[in-house]
C-alpha cells in the first residue's frame, strides 16, 4: 500500500513539473516564432542590433535543447525503474 502511495506521489510530482516545464517550453517556442514572423529580424538588422538578436535567438534555442535533454534524462531514469534488463 505504501509503495502505491509513493508511486502516486511520484506521478503527481512529475505531472506538476511537466506541466510547468511545458508552459515554459511553449513560451520559448512562441518567442522564436514571433522573432521569425514579420520584419522583426529585418528591423533589428537595420537598427544595428542584428548580432544581439542572433545571440538572443541562439540562447533561446540552447535553452530549448537543454529542456529537451533534461526531460529525456528524467524519462529514461523513470522508465528504467519499471523495465527489467532481462525484458529488453
Mean model confidence pLDDT for the chain: 81
More confident residue, 28 or 10: 28
Q: Provide the CB-side half-sphere exposure for 47 (13 A, CA).
A: 9
Backbone angles phi, psi at 31, to 5 degrees: -60, -45
Q: Is there a contact between 44 and 53 (Cβ–Cβ < 8 Å)? A: yes
* pTM tops 0.85, yes or no: no
Arithmetic mean of pLDDT, 57-67: 89
pLDDT digits 0-9 by tens, 18-61: 788 888 889 988 988 888 776 777 787 888 888 888 888 899 89
CB neighbour burial string for 29-58, b if at least 16 within 10 angstroms, e if fewer: eeeeeeeeeeeebeebeeeeeeeebeeeee
Residue 54 CA to its chain's centroid (Å): 20
Q: What pLDDT score does 62 carry? A: 92
Amino acid at each position: 500500500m505504501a509503495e502505491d502511495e509513493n508511486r502516486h506521489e511520484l506521478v503527481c510530482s512529475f505531472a506538476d513539473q511537466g506541466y510547468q516545464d511545458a508552459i515554459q517550453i511553449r513560451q520559448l517556442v512562441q518567442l522564436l516564432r514571433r522573432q521569425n514572423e514579420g520584419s522583426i529580424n529585418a528591423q533589428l538588422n537595420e537598427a544595428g542590433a542584428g548580432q544581439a538578436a542572433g545571440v538572443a535567438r541562439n540562447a533561446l534555442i540552447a535553452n530549448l535543447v537543454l529542456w529537451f535533454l533534461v526531460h529525456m534524462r528524467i524519462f529514461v531514469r523513470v522508465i528504467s525503474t519499471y523495465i527489467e534488463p532481462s525484458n529488453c
